[in-house]
Amino acid sequence: MTTQVSLAGALNRALGDALAEDPTVLVFGEDVGALGGVFRVTDGLAARFGEQRVFDTPLAESGIVGTAIGMAMNGLRPVVEMQFDAFAYPAFEQITSHLAKLRNRTRGRVGLPVVIRVPYGGGIGGVEHHCDSSEAYYTHTPGLRVVTPGTPDDAYRLLRDSIASPDPVIFLEPKRRYWSKGALESGAPVGFDRALVRRPGRDVTLIAYGPMVATALETAEAAREEGWDVEVVDLRSLSPFDDETVCASVVKTGRAVVVHEASGFGGYGAEVVARVTERCFHHLHAPVLRVTGFDIPYPPPKLEEHHLPSVDRILDAIARLQWDDRVVGSYGA
């Protein structure tokens, strides 16, 4: 049995189910109470569970995360919202110096089951500080799990898994996909740290995550007209990384393109390219390419459509994958 729901609605349902099943779960952050969050992800939860379990905080991200750390040390499971990606930076010291390190520092005696929800990425016409792609900061920090859903079904599953995890989780929510709808599946759960093949193909692997999953799937359909059969892999878990699923796909197709919104230089895609190259080198027919945001500060709303990877930019990258004498469509050989 399946149910159609928006990505934001799936997150709301996951939070509600977790609050109902586990009295140690708390949800708090800026405007998550009566307002229901700036994107309405927590809509109705304060009225349903009361202000002791779903409540607003002062506008102080460092204080929000610091409070969550103290709560987790004393047996609670806080789920906090940063409201916007670039708003999280004042809390970065708490996250990297304490949240990520306490289990190691105490030789495993103290765990911190904290989930930090971060709406991230572009596509909504947000002004400065309201759109950013900060995933590489978190994935570079040992001790943190970093996950990002690309579909409503994954939004529900991954958030439930994150709340149940004994480790701290950075939960990156693609804000441009909050209103996209999809089915909530009732089948067997997918591993928390596993990638998924969203679309099988034989010619080239598109590796994407979060907001770019839908763009990759759109590209795969457009590529059919050019004669390419494109496989799409949704990473889901950025850290830890599912080498097995990704490399199996690349070994099969022999070509790969990594797609993400963040700037290319030092971006998360560089790690993916390195891992794929190290493990699949003798199966590759061409270098692994990246399609990313440009190496600039995030642009203003009127220009962001040029910054975000598009179907045409991804098709251009596919065309550069050394197809030898095979001429495919209008995008090259």
Mean pLDDT of the chain: 94
Token pair listed for 293: 């945001």
Band of pLDDT at residue 249, cut at 50, 70 and 90: very high
CA nearest to 145, candidates 179, 176, 111: 111
Mean pLDDT of 31-38: 96
CA nearest to 148, candidates 252, 7, 24: 7
Q: What DSSP character marks residue 89? A: G
**Alpha helix (H) residue ranges in 60-204:** 61-73, 92-94, 102-105, 135-139, 152-164
Band of pLDDT at residue 332, cut at 50, 70 and 90: very low
Residue 294 in this model has a pLDDT that exceeds 70: yes
Between helix 212-224 and helix 311-319 the angle, nearest 10°, is 60
Percent with pLDDT over 90 in the chain:
88
Mind listing the pLDDT tens digit for each residue in 192-228?
Answer: 999 999 999 999 999 999 999 999 999 999 999 999 9
Give the integer Cα–Cα distance in Å for 157 and 144. Answer: 18
193 — phi, psi (to 5°)?
-110, 30
Size of the chain, expressed as the number of residues it contains: 333
Residue 149 CA to its chain's centroid (Å)? 5
- Beta strands 169-174 and 181-184 are unpaired
User: How many CA atoms are closer than 13 Å to the CA of 128, on its beta-carbon side?
Assistant: 2
pLDDT, residue 328, reads: 46
178 or 327, greater pLDDT: 178
Q: Let me know the angle formed at the C-alpha of 198 by 194 and 199, rounded to the nearest 5 degrees.
A: 140
pLDDT, residue 197, reads: 98
Q: Which of 129, 130, 140, 282 is catalytic?
A: 130
Mean pLDDT of 48-69: 97
Residue 269: enclosing H or E segment and its boundaries?
helix 268-280
Mean pLDDT of 260-273: 97
118 — phi, psi (to 5°)?
-130, 105
CA distances from 30 to 63, 82, 115, 133, 145 (A): 11, 7, 15, 20, 23
Residue identified by tokens 């996209």 is 180
First to last CA, the chain: 45
Band of pLDDT at residue 1, cut at 50, 70 and 90: low
Residue 185 in this model has a pLDDT that exceeds 90: no
Residue 176 in this model has a pLDDT that exceeds 70: yes
Band of pLDDT at residue 327, cut at 50, 70 and 90: very low
Residue 331 in this model has a pLDDT that exceeds 70: no
Mean pLDDT of 238-260: 98
The answer to whether the CB of 2 falls within 8 A of the CB of 185 is yes
Mind listing the pLDDT tens digit for each residue in 85-137?
Answer: 999 999 999 999 999 999 999 999 999 999 999 999 998 888 888 899 999 99
Give the integer Cα–Cα distance in Å for 116 and 143. Answer: 14
Q: Which residues are bridge partners to 205 per DSSP?
A: 231, 256
Task: Decide if 130 is catalytic.
Answer: yes
